[in-house]
Amino acid sequence: MQKFRRVFEGIAKAGQSTDLNDFYTELFITERVSGEVNKEHEVRLIETAFRKPAKEETPIKCEDIFKPLPGQDQPSRTIMTTGVAGIGKTILTHKFTLDWAEGKANHDIHFTLPFTFRELNLLKEKEFSLVELLYHFFIQTKGIRRYDLFQVVFILDGLDECRLPLDFQNNPIWTDVTKSTSVDVLLTNLIRGDLLPSARIWITTRPAAANQIPAECVGMVTEVRGFTDPQKDEYFRKRFKEETLASTIISHIKTSRSLHIMCHIP
């Protein structure tokens, strides 16, 4: 849990980290209409995102990422969250995991299992069963073989860094959590729902890499837009505890349109 509690924010001094709970500010997350993924250049996305009519869209809290939206009967099994570089996707997954571990949210979940594609890339040439893969990363899972008896969430962070083939079209169907195969086969079957269909999957990615996952495998696509104007103020007041200093910084930023837009990204 300490891994998710202590984070390095901005240009941190060597060995100096910050408690996530001390400065975390809710980001504006919303569902993408019709599940479409915006593939515009990221610079243009940054320029235009703050002008989008946030008041007309339903914001989604980090802790509610798997809960049904208004008008939906069932939650989606697989969620994809897109956002430009630095917008806060990884911090979102850390906050979700930390709140769950501290018993603050999602009490129905028995296991939250966070992976990064950067870590999974290192296992490209190796074979595991799903049970073995989980034990490789989480020794606390030793002895567990019936994951279908539990509510499990897999977080797959940083699809844009994935160096695995993710060959959904040609990979064999794999349903046995105790049978070994490549990590690529495990991932494609997990995402597709053939392997451990009771699990929930949360994938984060920059927009350009989103098409690595077939649209039919994704139940809902959400987008991280960054901070709204009130969220910017809230963040600075959390980051700078001295009220006068925080107010001075906020006022200064508001006098510069460029700075104000840049602060849209945490």
Q: Check residue 236 and give its pLDDT.
A: 80
The string of pLDDT tens digits covering residues 222-247 is 999 988 888 888 788 878 888 888 88
Mean pLDDT over residues 202-206, rounded?
A: 98
Percent of the chain with pLDDT over 90: 61
Query: How does DSSP assign 211-226, residue by residue?
Result: GGS-GGG-SEEEEEEE
The string of pLDDT tens digits covering residues 147-158 is 999 999 999 999
- The span from the CA of 103 to the CA of 98, in Å, is 9
At 20, is the secondary structure helix, strand, or coil? helix
Radius of gyration of the chain (CA): 19
Q: Would you say residue 185 has pLDDT above 60?
A: yes
Q: Would you say residue 254 has pLDDT above 90?
A: no
More confidently predicted of 262 and 163: 163
Kindly report each contact of residues 84-87 with a partner whose C-beta sits within 8 Å and lies 24 or more positions away, as own/partner.
84/42, 84/45, 84/46, 84/49, 84/206, 84/207, 84/265, 85/42, 85/206, 86/265, 86/266, 87/27, 87/224, 87/225, 87/226, 87/265, 87/266
Question: Roughly how many angstroms between the first and final C-alpha of the chain, as a whole number?
Answer: 23
Q: How much is the mean pLDDT over the chain?
A: 87
Q: Check residue 126 and give its pLDDT.
A: 97
Q: Which amino acid belongs to residue 79?
A: I
Place of tokens 């809290």: 61
The string of pLDDT tens digits covering residues 19-48 is 676 667 888 999 986 545 555 555 555 555
Q: Would you say residue 11 has pLDDT above 50?
A: no
More confidently predicted of 78 and 254: 78
Q: Check residue 32 and give its pLDDT.
A: 84
Q: Check residue 35 and give its pLDDT.
A: 45
- Whether 200 and 154 have beta carbons less than 8 Å apart is answered as yes
pTM: 0.86
From the list 233, 149, 234, 154, the residue with the least C-alpha distance to 192 is: 154
